[in-house]
Amino acid sequence: MSAAEFLRDLIRLQALPGQEAALRERVLQEWRTLGFEDVQADSGGNALARVPGREAGPAWLLLTHLDHVHEGDPALWEHPPYEAVLQDGVIHGRGAVDIKGPLAAQTYALARLLEQGERPRSDVWIVAAAEEETGGSGAAYLVAHPPGEIGAVIVAEPSSNQLMLGHRGVARVRVQLQGRAHHASLALKDENPIFALAELLKRIEALTFPDFPVTGASTLTVTQLFTDSGSENLTPNAVTAILDWRFNEDDAYNKLVLEKLLEGLPARGELSALWTPEYTPGFVTEPNDPLARKVLPYAARFHAEPGVWRFATDGRYTANAGWPTVGWGPGNEGLAHTTKEAVAVADLEAYSAALAELLGQESPS
């Protein structure tokens, strides 16, 4: 089997967060067939396995995840989301780039070494974590229960095979603006929370954040709105706004920003505790970091310079655990979570070849 064939098998298995069992078993089966060792599912729902290296010392960790987002309305897809259509060298379907393509590519990087009768220079743990899409419970379990001494991590989220040096943190905040329901004909603006919402939106629009090295500036935007009004001629008692916050700053700064946004408004909202699914920091690996310098020559075959992800990954957990972490994976990140999700077979194969070469020649420390 090849990375492309394995990916097509994976796409045919739906694996929404918390519903990854069938996919996990298929992944474990493939790893056993390929001759990986210590193949197992841990108590956090993760799939993991080890390929022993030639030298003693800390191990590489290759990290993806099992779950993917819902496919939405299948009628909006050119190709059915779970049929894994292969057309003109491109595989289509939910999870093609996020995350089954990178999972297949990392798997077959290791398979490539074993098929050539070789071993990686250092031990390699490969992990497909559970529930990444809903906050990373699998990765949280992994760093609390590491399978061995980890020297460096390569997170294979889609990056078009570009080295990635991190991403911003992510917080989701529920803000409730309170008013008093009344007949629309009264037009009591001071009691209609939608007018308070309008002021909040203006404040968010005017908000600016300082630019940060590597990751750029933070962003804050509104993604969803809900009211409790059940009639077109009745104003609501309350409006709830969901804020999506991609941040670089620390917790104290973020709380101050939120406080100023809500100041004087009939509103309440707060950040949850850090390292809960609603509020996790990002991570940054500096360009001159030893791990970045080690991986870049292999990734530079595709992109000369490193970048950063716009979205969050499980790398936030591994970096916070003190494990040097970079990102590097096949697939266009702009196609993730869309109805056009697809990945070129050539990109999978090129990534697998470059990663196999790195693992065969480099130690993580």
Q: How many angstroms separate the CA atoms of 103 and 66, rounded?
A: 8
Interior angle at CA 148, CA 64 and CA 34, nearest 5: 55
State the Cα torsion 342-329-16-43 to the nearest 10°. 160
Q: Where are the domains of the chain?
A: 3-167+283-361, 170-279
pTM of the model: 0.93
Tokens of 106: 């990392």
pLDDT tens profile 39-71 = 999 999 999 999 999 999 999 999 999 999 999
Q: How many angstroms separate the CA atoms of 142 and 153, rounded?
A: 12
| CATH class of the domain defined by 3-167+283-361 | alpha beta
The pLDDT of residue 246: 97
pLDDT tens profile 244-269 = 999 999 999 999 999 999 999 999 99
**Where does 162-271 have alpha helices with state H?**
193-206, 251-262
Q: At what angle do helices 345-361 and 3-11 cross, to 10 degrees?
A: 120
The pLDDT of residue 27: 98
Across the range 292-297, mean pLDDT stands at 98
Instruction: Return the CATH architecture of domain 170-279.
Output: 2-Layer Sandwich (3.30)
Across the range 125-138, mean pLDDT stands at 96
Percent of the chain topping pLDDT 90: 98
CA distances from 26 to 47, 102, 168, 229, 235 (A): 10, 15, 32, 47, 52
